[in-house]
Structure 1
Amino acid sequence: MSSTYTFILSLLLFVGFSSSKKIPPYLTLCSRHDPNLNECVKNAVEQLRPHLALGVPELLLPPMDPLVLPEAGLSSGDNFKASFKNIQIYYANEFRIDNLNVNLDKYHIDLELSFPRLRILSQYNIDGRILVLQLHGHGPADGNFTDVSANAAFEGELKSKKGKEYITIKSVKVDLKIGKPFFQFENIFNGNEELNVQTNKIINENVVDIIDELRPVIDKTVTDFAIGIVSRVFNRFSFDELFPK
């Protein structure tokens, strides 16, 4: 499928966050030589969990309930274009770590997460055709998702900066699975309530096929966001600071 991608993260700089480069005192660091490194890192993430809803300024991690994104765009050739603004993602901090493997010799991390539920609110603008649906409208959108899983593989390398070594993320591969999605778009046909109800019904009856049609763009959106979040931590603290000897 020919697709183009637009995703704006510029406002995720979180102006006003602390500039202090100190690892939070409640976070236990893991020695790179710890024989139980995977379990140690997993426990460290669990130590962060109570703080994730409001964000962790020291790590440049944004608030996660809701997690706010300024804008995202989806397009499929010239036939379909959609933009979403003021995106608010709820319950992202309720993730479970199903599997974690950290290989510091190769700077590789395999991570499997699951989300029992997610809710995404936004303001949408859609114009074009997806599958058999011709859509045109703008207004509030409400997406509810259950049984979401994300498998991610992070590939990194060490780079020197000002006499210290930092892990740099080279690439991320993400496999996203959505168990039960449900969407509600208001004002799809600019005020025609009967058409709006019928179109939402058709969208949810065909939602799996619609997601598959847009999967390359969705996966790239999630991948780029994951790179941005993880890179914030690795760019802020050196390898020795994050994984002391």
Structure 2
Amino acid sequence: MKIFYLMVSLMGVAYCKKLPSFIEVCSKSDPKIVECLKRNIEKLRPMFLKGIPELQIPSMNPLQIPKASLANGNAITADFTNLQIYQLNDFTIDKLDVDLDHFKLDVTLTFPRLRIMADYHIKGKILVMDLDGSGPADGNYTNVRIHFKSEGSRNNRNGKNYIKIDKTSIDMEIGEAHVFFDRIFGDNEELNANTNKIINDNIETLITDLKPVISEIVDTFLVGITKRLFDKYPIEDLFKP
């Protein structure tokens, strides 16, 4: 989930009495602005654990998401509630390109490990199995690589200029994954175990189905926080000339 466009708004924040003093000022005209952004990311990284109320950032270990859903045509539907995502604060920055003149961001991050726990309800066909089950779900993912792009525009409000996010896109790659759906066949422990084994033996098929869910979580979280920040602070307060 943090990172991405949010990082630009956080890391480029200019001095203002309403803004936290621990943010380093970055200048739009600085040819080394990316290095400035990265310094701020590393400065904020330890704070991601508990969250940063001053910047409207919730805790990222775990990050709590109320709901995410999947509808794959007529094949399968899935609802996930009470999601808890662990280790979002542990990531490497593979790419960070910023174009503040045109409000564009291009970021690639790698998360060595992610754990996603939730309550689920799945109905439909996975592989050759017809499923209709509910219960706790637990997923462990390694080497999750997320490529995030966004584009924005200038929005004048009350005589001040704000950034409006117009478009976002997310691509994702997952190295390895292991998932467990408890009670996917109710109280039949043997059938539950066999079903989970089949799913994990063919995990690439399931991951293909689940990617939209994970992308929805990332997009909702990042865009939501970024919009709140950009709605609050005008461009002139966010960035030095």
Say yes or no: TM over 0.5: yes
Give the unaligned 5+ runs of structure 1: 1-20
Matched, 1:137 2:152: no
Cα deviation 1:123-157 (Å, max 9, x = unaligned) = 11111112322112111111001100101111111
- Report the equivalent of 1:42: 38
Report the Cα distance in structure 1 between the residues aligned to 2:44 and 2:158, rounded to whole angstroms.
Answer: 29
Per the alignment, in what secondary structure is the counterpart of residue 89 of structure 2? helix
Instruction: Tell me the TM-score normalized by structure 1.
Output: 0.87
- Which amino acid is the alignment partner of residue 119 of structure 1? R
Q: CA deviation at 1:34?
A: 1.1
Q: CA deviation at 1:48?
A: 1.2
Q: CA deviation at 1:89?
A: 0.3
8 Å CA contact retained: 1:174, 1:219: yes
Pick from 24, 33, 37: which aligns with 1:28? 24
Give the unaligned 5+ runs of structure 2: 1-16
Q: CA deviation at 1:62?
A: 1.2
Which deviates more from structure 2 when the two are superposed, residues 60-69 or residues 128-137? 128-137
Greater RCO structure (CA 8 Å; 6+ sep) = 2
Which deviates more from structure 2 when the two are superposed, residues 166-175 or residues 218-227? 218-227
Report the Cα distance in structure 1 between the residues aligned to 2:103 and 2:118, rounded to whole angstroms.
Answer: 36
- Report the equivalent of 1:211: 207
Report the Cα distance in structure 2 between the residues aligned to 1:126 and 1:191, rounded to whole angstroms.
Answer: 16
- Which amino acid is the alignment partner of residue 234 of structure 1? F
Per the alignment, in what secondary structure is the counterpart of residue 102 of structure 2? coil
Identity %: 45
Report the Cα distance in structure 2 between the residues aligned to 1:215 and 1:114, rounded to whole angstroms.
Answer: 15
Report the Cα distance in structure 1 between the residues aligned to 2:181 and 2:213, rounded to whole angstroms.
Answer: 20
Q: CA deviation at 1:88?
A: 0.4
Q: CA deviation at 1:165?
A: 0.8
- Report the equivalent of 1:3: none
Pick from 80, 86, 95: which aligns with 1:84? 80
- Which amino acid is the alignment partner of residue 149 of structure 2? A
> Structure 1's 26 and 101: CA in aligned 2 closer, same or farther, altered over 3 A?
same
Report the Cα distance in structure 2 between the residues aligned to 1:134 and 1:222, rounded to whole angstroms.
Answer: 29
Matched, 1:156 2:152: yes
Which deviates more from structure 2 when the two are superposed, residues 118-127 or residues 219-228? 219-228
8 Å CA contact retained: 2:68, 2:213: no
- Report the equivalent of 1:116: 112
Q: CA deviation at 1:230?
A: 2.1
Per the alignment, in what secondary structure is the counterpart of residue 92 of structure 1? coil
Q: CA deviation at 1:207?
A: 1.4
Report the Cα distance in structure 1 between the residues aligned to 2:95 and 2:35, rounded to whole angstroms.
Answer: 10
Aligned residues: 225
Q: CA deviation at 1:221?
A: 4.3
- Report the equivalent of 2:7: none
Cα deviation 1:154-197 (Å, max 9, x = unaligned) = 11111111221111111111111111110011100011001100
Per the alignment, in what secondary structure is the counterpart of residue 174 of structure 1? strand
8 Å CA contact retained: 1:76, 1:214: no
> Structure 1's 120 and 134: CA in aligned 2 closer, same or farther, altered over 3 A?
same
Q: CA deviation at 1:214?
A: 4.5
Report the Cα distance in structure 2 between the residues aligned to 1:214 and 1:120, rounded to whole angstroms.
Answer: 12
Q: CA deviation at 1:215?
A: 3.8
Matched, 1:193 2:184: no
> Structure 1's 214 and 69: CA in aligned 2 closer, same or farther, altered over 3 A?
closer
Which deviates more from structure 2 when the two are superposed, residues 112-121 or residues 69-78? 69-78
Pick from 85, 93, 96: which aligns with 2:92? 96
Which deviates more from structure 2 when the two are superposed, residues 53-62 or residues 71-80? 71-80
Q: CA deviation at 1:225?
A: 3.1
Report the Cα distance in structure 1 between the residues aligned to 2:106 and 2:156, rounded to whole angstroms.
Answer: 24
Matched, 1:232 2:223: no
Matched, 1:125 2:125: no
Cα deviation 1:210-241 (Å, max 9, x = unaligned) = 22245445434433333223222222211111
- Which amino acid is the alignment partner of residue 37 of structure 2? V
Instruction: Tell me the TM-score normalized by structure 2.
Output: 0.88
